Amino acid sequence: MLGSGLLQGLAVTAKNFVGSFHDPKRLTTVEYPEKRTVLPEAYRNFPFLVSEKAEDPMGTLRCVACQICEKECPPQCIYIEKSKDKKPDATGKMQIYPAVFLIDSSVCMNCQICVEVCPFDAIKMDQVFEIATQERFHALLLDREQLAKPNSYFHSIRPSEAAEVDGRLAAERKVAEEKAKAAALAKAAAQAKPVAPKTEPAPGAASPKPQNPA
Amino acid sequence: MMPSTPQDSLLERAPQLLRDLVTSHLPEPWRWFANSLIAMIVILAVFGLLFAALTLVERKVLGRVQNRPGPNRTGPFGLLQPIADGIKMLSKEDIVPRDADHILHFLAPVILLASTVMAFAVIPYGRHLVPVDLDAAVLYFFAVGATTELAVFMAGWSSHNKYSLLAAMRALAQLISYELPLLLSWVPVVMISGTLSTTGIVAAQSAWKWGWVPTWNVFTPWGFAGFAVFMVAALAESNRSPFDLPEAESELIAGHLTEYSGCKYVFFFMAEYFGMTALSGMAVTLFLGGWHAPLPSLEFIPSYAWFGAKLITLLVGFIWIRATFPRLRIDQLTRFAWKFLVPLALINLGTTAFWSLSFGWTGPLQLVRWAVAIVLVVVPFIVMGRRLSSGVAPRTYSYAT
């Protein structure tokens, strides 16, 4: 009969209206600046540089200025200048570090390729989306001071991935330490008796190696 | 004490007493003038505030229907939103196109608003509250309402804009099409009440059947049909969704409002809401018993409160309908008016004539009278509803599946 469809439609809207007062499914809007949704762990936005210690972010950057990300970046928004001197990195090895590390966030397309190619777990995707600025050019060009965020922050936004990275780095560090110890022993032994063969320490250092990162 | 003489209770006479407090100091020849002035000011103030509240309620209800909270930034729960809107609209630049007819462009919103405000003059808001008690009040109301068509066309023509002109043509087609069912739908009320005066029509609905069922016109078969036709035509007359074709933004930008900004736009906006309110007020008067209480035991509540409650119910109904239905196409719109509403309203005249002639029937004949009247209303509705959609629905699509 004419009009039955109209009545059905009216019933649908009435149900929505009444439901919006008691049923959260019928009032899905989150009043954003006051209330926020919990971002999923895999949510990603602009990249940031991981540093080990919050007190000394520039001294403990994981980045070794290898420039792989700079070369891989599809929109070429990364610019790196290598340092002249060296500093011990996360695994204690002496490494160069980025004297200049710039990301133009107006160019960055959040593709995560820099994160995937980084062999040092030094660059990770952030979850910050409120990046509006008053100025179009310099304010959107982020330098290494702005990009550096401590590992604890990485743990807070993406706990499972951060734990996995930390475990891997700790294992590598252990391996490197043992290697260094063995090398020092071998060196001492070689100095003590130059005749003795150095076959003994090498397998001991090689056997507990869990994986080879580089 | 109060239910026996509700017309004399203090609350009932409060508006009169307040007015006399002000005007009793004036000399006798001036008193009628001051009384009319106060009535005008009160109407403008009350319906102006109702307009402001209605814009907020509309946005809130639309929001809730669409699963969002609606405006909630200005003041607690967004209650100050109409004030913010008003300040924004009034402080906007008033732009008049260079090639526009400046005089007509200025006059259109003024005439539109004036004619809708004039319609408020004859509605009885309460037992003692009717601004102008005309003998032909209903005729006056719809004559004044017809002026809005002129104003809409003035706006479209004077804007010198193709969208405005097309929209004005559309608006004319729509308003004239729906003027006919609108006028035909209230003729039965006049036939039964025997008067064109709004107070007389309200008085004709004042009795109680069996001591508690109100004898409002809407509770009769012809009254219900008339009320339904009246409300559909009122939706179209006040350019409300789903009949808001003159301002179909996907086709005509804002229609005849395209070249209006600032205060003049507010005038159009106000006129739409005033027109909707006036037509709802007239529907309450004609069909819903005016200011009468729905039960004799509720008569201690003053009559203007009952009128307000019925009015707001109808206005919320308008908003509900807007939240539900999509806009019609122009051919659907005119076909619906000419092939469905006008014949229904004409048949309803016959039903009313039967009802009027069978006034003296008593006993079991009463049942026959009701049955015949209901059949006269329902059968044409079903038959014509089938004919209206035959060959049109369900739709077949050439390319989509």
Q: What's the token pair of residue A207?
A: 């056997």
How confident is the model over A181-211, as pLDDT tens digits?
A: 888 888 888 887 665 555 554 444 444 444 5
Relative orientation angle of helices B162-193 and B262-286, to the nearest 10 degrees: 20
Q: Does B3 score more than 70 pLDDT? A: no
CB nearest B320 (choices: A2, A10, A27): A10
Side chain identity at B246, as an amino acid letter? P
Over chain B, what is the mean pLDDT? 86
**Per residue in B316-354, pLDDT tens?**
999 999 999 888 888 888 888 888 899 999 999 999 999
The answer as to whether B397 is a domain residue is no
What does the domain layout of chain A look like in residue ranges? Answer: 47-157, 164-206
Parallel, antiparallel, or unpaired for β A47-51 and A148-150? Answer: parallel
SS3 at position A64? coil
- In this structure, what are the phi and psi dihedrals at residue B172, rounded to the nearest 5 degrees? -60, -45
- Residue A47's φ and ψ, nearest 5 degrees, are -75, 160
- The alpha carbons of chain A give a radius of gyration, in whole angstroms, of 27
Contact: B65, A3; criterion CB under 8 Å: no
Beta strands per DSSP E along A46-144:
47-51, 78-82, 87-88, 94-95, 98-104, 123-125, 141-142
Range of the domain at B164: 7-385
Taking an 8 Å cut-off on Cβ atoms, the answer to whether A14 and B320 are in contact is: yes
Contacts of B393 by beta carbon, 8 Å cutoff, 6+ apart: none
Work out the percent of chain B whose per-residue pLDDT is above 90: 22
Residues B62, B319 contacting (CB under 8 angstroms): yes
**B contacts of A21 (beta carbons < 8 Å):** 64
Among B65, B382, B384, beta carbon nearest to A16: B65
Angle at B5 between CA B2 and CA B9, to 5 degrees: 55
pTM metric for this prediction:
0.77
CA angle, B343 then B348 then B352, to 5°: 155
How close A30 gets to chain B, by Cα (Å)?
Answer: 9
- Chain A CB contacts of B324 below 8 Å: 6, 9-10, 12-13
Q: What is the predicted pLDDT for the residue at B2? A: 42
3-state secondary structure of B161: coil
Q: Which of A59-63, A125-129, B8-12, B147-151 has the lowest mean pLDDT?
A: B8-12
- Output DSSP code: residue A37: P
Residue A14 has pLDDT above 80, yes or no: yes
Query: How many domains are there within chain B?
Result: 1
Pairwise CA distance, residues B336 & A168, whole Å: 74
Rounded to 10 deg, the angle between the B28-65 and B10-23 helix axes is 130
Which of A7, A12, A17, A30 to mutate: most B Cβ within 10 Å? A17
Q: Is B384 helix (H, G, I), strand (E, B) or coil?
A: helix
Residue A28: closest CA among chain B residues belongs to which residue?
B67
| Of B68, B323, B382, Cβ closest to residue A29 | B68
Residues of A in contact with B61 (CB under 8 A): 17
Which residue of B320, B321, B385 is in closest CB contact with A2? Answer: B385
The complex scores an ipTM of 0.79
Q: Which backbone phi and psi does B69 adopt, to 5 degrees?
A: -80, -15
Per the structure block, which two tokens stand in for B1? 């004490």
The runs of H, that is alpha helices, within A73-193 are: 113-117, 144-147, 151-157, 159-192
**CATH, range A47-157:** 3.30.70.3270
Any domain includes B395: no
* Beta carbons of B320 and A13 less than 8 Å apart: yes
**Looking at CA atoms only, how far is residue A27 from chain B in angstroms?**
4
Tokens of A2: 């004419």
Parallel/antiparallel/unpaired status of strands A123-125 and A47-51: antiparallel
User: Does residue B75 sit within a domain?
Assistant: yes
CB contact under 8 A, B388 and A9: no
pLDDT tens for each residue of B57-98: 999 999 889 888 888 888 888 889 989 988 988 888 888 888
- Distance, in Å, from the CA atom of B223 to the CA atom of A139, rounded to the nearest integer, reads 70
> Residues of A at the B interface (Cβ-Cβ below 8 Å)?
1-3, 6, 9-10, 12-14, 16-17, 20-21, 26-29, 31
* Candidate from A2, A9, A26 with C-beta closest to B67: A26
The helix-helix angle for B28-65 and A4-22 (nearest 10°) equals 80
Cβ neighbours, 10 Å, residue A52: 17
Measure A29 CA to nearest chain B CA, in Å: 5
Distance from CA of B64 to the nearest CA of A (A): 5
Kindly calculate the radius of gyration of chain B based on its CA atoms and give it in whole angstroms.
23
As a whole number, the mean pLDDT across chain A is 83
The 10s digit of each residue's pLDDT in B155-207 is 888 888 888 888 888 888 888 889 899 999 999 999 888 889 988 888 888 88
Query: With an 8 Å Cβ cutoff, are A2 and B382 in contact?
Result: yes
Within-domain flag for B399: no
Is residue B339 in a domain? yes
Phi, psi of B133 (to 5 degrees): -95, 85
